[in-house]
Copies of this chain bind each other. A is one copy, B any other.
């Protein structure tokens, strides 16, 4: 049976009831110990077990040890640093589905942030795709770079430190330009030039005021089929004897705007 290996991201999930459902994500490295409120995890010990098995901390707390998903990692891996609020996993898939990002897609991202969505994209565009990510803040770019390395994201991406509003986008003929910056309207002309016809401009927009400005600017360019959505996910309590939605949770993240490039617009 397969064992864990060095470099694996492992999610440790309590076998016991814990109010907060506290998970831990660690990256296995021979000789290391990771300390938590529940005692410490010995990496060497975990390297001797199989994914799906149960491990113990030095104080006897038992955890399931599984291969971590990207969602586990961005929420529970202490080495993943937040440079900014990340795009919520519940929105990742909406962007991917509606902008048709798939194996082979070339995507420009403006606003790398912490790199969580960058990682998500790289894992879906495959060996033939590529993610070009721009971040104007050098510190954030550096944080993202480290995060992506820690997450072992395949090197099908590049992070460039640049203010796209001022200095533009290098790439041409890309499938999608995705913007997660406070002023998406400032980079629309650059997005238009970078996109192939039929390609998608996508913006992640927190407020109505920003939607208004973005729509007004979009009208100046040959973009069509504009769609704005908001996604919302509700958790259902998974108890067979008391099935109901949870009472409290996130009920808003951001609006997502989609627009498609055409060569010219008919009024």
Please list the residues of chain A having a beta carbon within 8 angstroms of any beta carbon in chain B.
2, 13, 15-16, 50-54, 62, 64, 66-67, 69-71, 89-90, 92-100, 102-103, 120, 123-128, 196-198, 206-209, 211-212, 215-216, 219, 222, 224-253, 255, 257, 260-266
Q: In the complex, given contacts A94-B233, A211-B236, what are 13 additional A-B residue pairs having Cβ atoms less than 8 angstroms apart?
A: A2-B197, A16-B266, A50-B263, A53-B262, A64-B225, A64-B262, A103-B103, A126-B127, A215-B238, A228-B238, A230-B233, A231-B231, A248-B251
A245 to chain B, nearest CB (A): 4
Pairwise interchain contact A247-B251, C-beta atoms closer than 8 A? yes
CB-defined contacts of A266 to chain B, threshold 8 Å:
15-16, 54, 62, 64
Residue in contact with A248 in the complex, picked from B2, B100, B211, B248, CB distance below 8 Å:
B248
- With both beta carbons as reference points, the residue of chain B lying nearest to A255 in the complex is identified as B236
Whole-angstrom CA separation of A123 from B99 in the bound complex: 13
- With both beta carbons as reference points, the residue of chain B lying nearest to A13 in the complex is identified as B225
Residue in contact with A206 in the complex, picked from B50, B215, B244, CB distance below 8 Å:
B244
Whole-angstrom CA separation of A69 from B243 in the bound complex: 32
Pairwise interchain contact B66-A197, C-beta atoms closer than 8 A? yes
CB-defined contacts of A128 to chain B, threshold 8 Å:
126
Pairwise interchain contact B89-A98, C-beta atoms closer than 8 A? yes
CB-defined contacts of A125 to chain B, threshold 8 Å:
103
CB-defined contacts of A250 to chain B, threshold 8 Å:
247-248
Pairwise interchain contact B232-A231, C-beta atoms closer than 8 A? yes
The answer to whether residues A252 and B234 also contact, given A100-B70, A197-B66 and a CB cut-off of 8 A, is: yes
Residue in contact with A209 in the complex, picked from B70, B94, B206, B241, CB distance below 8 Å:
B241
